[in-house]
Amino acid sequence: MTSAELTGQLTGSPTGDLLLASGGTKGLVIELIGFAVLVAILARWIVPLILKMMSQAQERIAKQLADSEAAGQKLAEAQAAYDNAVAEARAEAEKLRADARAQNEQIVAEAAAAAQARADEITQRATEALEAERISAVRSLQAEIATMAVDLAEQQVRTALQDDAVQRRVIDRFLGELEGGISNAGSAPAGSTGGRSA
């Protein structure tokens, strides 16, 4: 099929076949006119429609790309925010654990100090009580021993005074000591004088 026949079929002209069949310049002109009409129709209605559809498709694709990029950016921002939140939560948890450990150590230290102070106080009170009891016991024993000593001395004096033989011996001894002391006193000057005369 030649271009003239194609043009005749496109234009729907029944005379196109005749003109083409007769040949010549007329047929060529008609073919050019038909082609020009076809190009004009394409340029007037089809091409703008195709361009419009292509433009809309490009806009949709561009919008989808932009939306995809925006979604990717939002996803990256959300991931970064999530990572930051997780890091902050971990840091806060670590800080809370450190604070809890510090408070626990402080509470234990305070409890130990309080327990030590209480133990020292109890020990001091017990020591003071024991010392007071010891002093009281010593005083009580001293008083009892003094009483017993006085009672024993009184008993011995009574026994000694009641026993005549003992009384006589005590008196004799006392008198003998007195006589011995007097005789010694009388003989001492004579001895000293004799010593000087010699």
Between CA 73 and CA 41 the distance in angstroms is 46
- Is pLDDT at 193 greater than 50 in this prediction? no
Between CA 131 and CA 125 the distance in angstroms is 10
Between CA 115 and CA 179 the distance in angstroms is 79
When pLDDT is averaged across residues 92-102 and rounded to a whole number, the result is 91
pTM exceeding 0.75: no
Count of beta carbons in the 10 Å neighbourhood of residue 9: 13
Between CA 189 and CA 197 the distance in angstroms is 12
* Helix residue spans in 3-46 (DSSP H): 3-11, 15-22, 25-41
Count of beta carbons in the 10 Å neighbourhood of residue 116: 10
Residues 6+ apart with CB under 8 A from 34: 7, 8, 10, 11, 13, 16
pLDDT in tens, 136-188: 888 888 888 888 888 887 887 777 666 677 677 777 888 888 888 777 666 65
Between CA 99 and CA 107 the distance in angstroms is 12
Domain boundaries, the chain: 3-181
How long is the chain?
198
